[in-house]
Amino acid sequence: MRVAEVRVTPIAFRDPPLLNVAGVHEPWALRSIIEVVTEGGRIGLGESYGEDTTLADLHACAARLAGLDPHDLNGLRRIVAETLLGQQEPAASIPPSGTRRVNVAFGAFEVAMLDLQAQQAGLPLHALLGGAVRERVPYSAYLFYKFARHHGDPGYPTDDWGEVISHAQLVGETRRMVREYGFGSIKLKGGVFEPEYEIESLRALRAAFPDHPLRIDPNGGWSVPTTLRVLPKLDGLLEYLEDPTGTLEEMAQVARVASMPLATNMVTVEFGHVPKTISLGAVQVILSDHHYWGGLRATQHLAHLGRVFGLGISMHSNSHLGISLAAMTHVGMTLPNLTYAADTHYPWQEDEVIAGGKLRFEHGTLAPPPGPGLGVTLDRTALAALHENWVRCGIRRRDDASEMLKHQPDWKGARPRF
Ligand code: GKR
Ligand code: MG
């Protein structure tokens, strides 16, 4: 089996006006769809970021992949590193930082090549990855405060979630998400309002959902003094506190006094960050993400390191479609220490690029689509329409801050915000 051609298609899909520390989601979220086509006409799929910088990297690498055996993942890594860094990565050790760009591009193609390997073997991807330790992967309800509508006319109907700013509105959003998807745990995207307000929201959620584990993620929006001030109010309320502060050192200061585990997808984001994370005792849970940790095998390596160092493992998400969700689910099935329900933005996305439409959760969990490989194929009509969105929307880089300034011209985005 040899690669004949690699196609990278930028797409844009509808995204609701979800609030976070950086501002508000724009009307269109960007993504790239990767197709690795073999000489025999088999197609392996991947999904990654759609920002112009990532697209440039993916296109540059894609042009050099013809002739590669999809089993040769070391060969893939070599080509990606040579293309993006102009040289090989050091063999002896992983640098303390700076591998993210290579990891992102490698991860995008690695998923597609693993899809091909598994298709050829006639195995579901989780079997190729070593076998399932669970039949289904649990996901959490990912709550956002949100505006009722986008600023201006995005050219499509307003979403039907309405405004979510008050505690009652947030409880309503959660009730709908739990009713429709069956999620058994809850994550609140924080860093939007004063921490005390968001903690009141958590209390309202606790009252409405007494048995659901809760998390809050201010995305580094709180200073250390602010976090230390509000920590006692969070005692007994959270299964983990995600990225309250913005640096490893700050997380370590918080961790020394926090009663709950600290989780991150912001301060430990490459293997080179792991030694310092451990020596500082900065976090207790790492949110893995195959899109930037370097693919599905890297996700398994990270989970294994978690076992070595006694760290919990969960999964991070950005706005994404079904190829990413299928990949997350396959790898999640193979991680013995996936000790927390994974994040997913999927309920917020109405568009889809895979044939058969949206994947369906049961009791807050997902099993991958049946069949060899990832189990998903492309809906070509949808792909063309989503690509057309990308051509027309003009957004080439996510910019939540500029979008927020359209709603609130006096909004201040400096971090820490509180
Ligand atoms: O989609 O607004 C968002 C999130 O804030 C996202 O950008 C984060 O990367 O979900 C993510 C997180 O857990 O930090
Ligand atoms: Mg996070």
Secondary structure (DSSP) of 248-259: HHHHHHHHTT-S
18 lines ligand 1 (CB under 6 A): yes
The structural domain count of the chain equals 2
Tell me the DSSP string of 86-111: SSPPPSS---SS--HHHHHHHHHHHH
One domain, residues 249 and 100: no
Instruction: Judge if the beta carbon of residue 365 lies within 6 A of ligand 1.
Output: no
Does a cis peptide bond (omega within 30 degrees of 0) precede residue 416? Answer: yes
Which atom of ligand 1 is found nearest the CA of 142?
10
Identity (one letter) of the amino acid at 240? Y
Ligand 1 mutation pick, 140, 187, 242, 316, max ligand atoms within 8 A of CB: 316
Is residue 335 a contact partner of residue 130, using CB atoms and an 8 Å limit? Answer: no
Which ligand 1 atom is nearest residue 243's CA?
Answer: 14
Q: What CATH number did the domain enclosing 184 receive?
A: 3.20.20.120
Contact yes or no for 187/217 (Cβ under 8 A): yes
Kindly state if the Cβ of 317 falls inside 6 Å of ligand 1.
Answer: yes
Asked if residue 144 and residue 80 are part of one domain, the reply reads: no
For 352, the token pair is 């889809």
Question: One digit per residue, pLDDT tens: the chain, 418 residues?
Answer: 999 999 999 999 999 999 999 999 999 999 999 999 999 999 999 999 999 999 999 999 999 999 999 999 999 999 999 999 999 999 988 999 889 999 999 999 999 999 999 999 999 999 999 999 999 999 999 999 999 999 999 999 999 999 999 999 999 999 999 999 999 999 999 999 999 999 999 999 999 999 999 999 999 999 999 999 999 999 999 999 999 999 999 999 999 999 999 999 999 999 999 999 999 999 999 999 999 999 999 999 999 999 999 999 999 999 999 999 999 999 999 999 998 999 999 999 999 999 999 999 999 999 999 999 999 999 999 999 999 999 999 999 999 999 999 999 999 989 999 9
Yes or no: say if 268 and 221 are a contact pair by the CB < 8 Å rule: no
Determine if ligand 1 sits within 6 Å of the CB of residue 316: yes
Residue 415 inside a domain? The answer is no
Other residues' Cβ atoms within 10 Å of the Cβ of residue 193: 18
Taken as a whole, the chain contains a residue count of 418
326 domain-assigned: yes
CA atoms of 313 and 334, how far apart (whole Å):
12
Nearest to 295 by CA among 90, 141, 135, 70: 70
Q: Are residues 118 and 204 in the same domain?
A: no
Residues 6+ away with beta carbon under 8 Å from 98: 270, 272
C-beta neighbour count of 414 within 10 angstroms: 5
Ligand nearest to the CA of 19: 1
274 and 354 fall within a common domain: yes
Q: How many A from CA of 158 to the centre of ligand 1?
A: 22
The reply to whether 408 falls in a domain is no
SS3 348: helix
- The reply to whether 49 and 117 lie within a common domain is yes
Q: Does residue 100 sit in the same domain as residue 153?
A: no
| CATH code at position 10 | 3.30.390.10
**Whether residue 231 sits in one domain with residue 123:** no
User: Is 243 among the domain residues?
Assistant: yes
Residues 331 and 190 placed together within one structural domain of the fold? yes
User: Do the domain assignments include residue 198?
Assistant: yes
Ligand 1 binding pocket includes 140 (Cβ within 6 Å): no
- The answer to whether residue 91 is domain-embedded is yes
The answer on 161 and 55 residing in a single domain is no
Residue 142 within any structural domain of the chain: yes
Q: Are residues 113 and 151 in the same domain?
A: no
Q: 305: CA distance to ligand 1 center in Å?
A: 24
The residue segments making up the domain with residue 192 are 137-366
Sign of CA dihedral 188, 193, 198, 204: negative
Please report where in the chains the tokens 């493992």 appear, as a residue.
Answer: 313
Confirm whether 229 is domain-assigned. Answer: yes
Rounded Cα distance between 171 and 179, Å, is 12
Question: In angstroms, what is the span from residue 190 Cα to ligand 2's centroid?
Answer: 9
Do 207 and 187 fall within a single domain? yes
Q: How many helices (H) and strands (E) does the chain have?
A: 14, 14
162 and 76 inside one domain: no
Query: What is the distance between the alpha carbons of residues 362 and 142, in angstroms, rounded to a whole number?
Result: 16
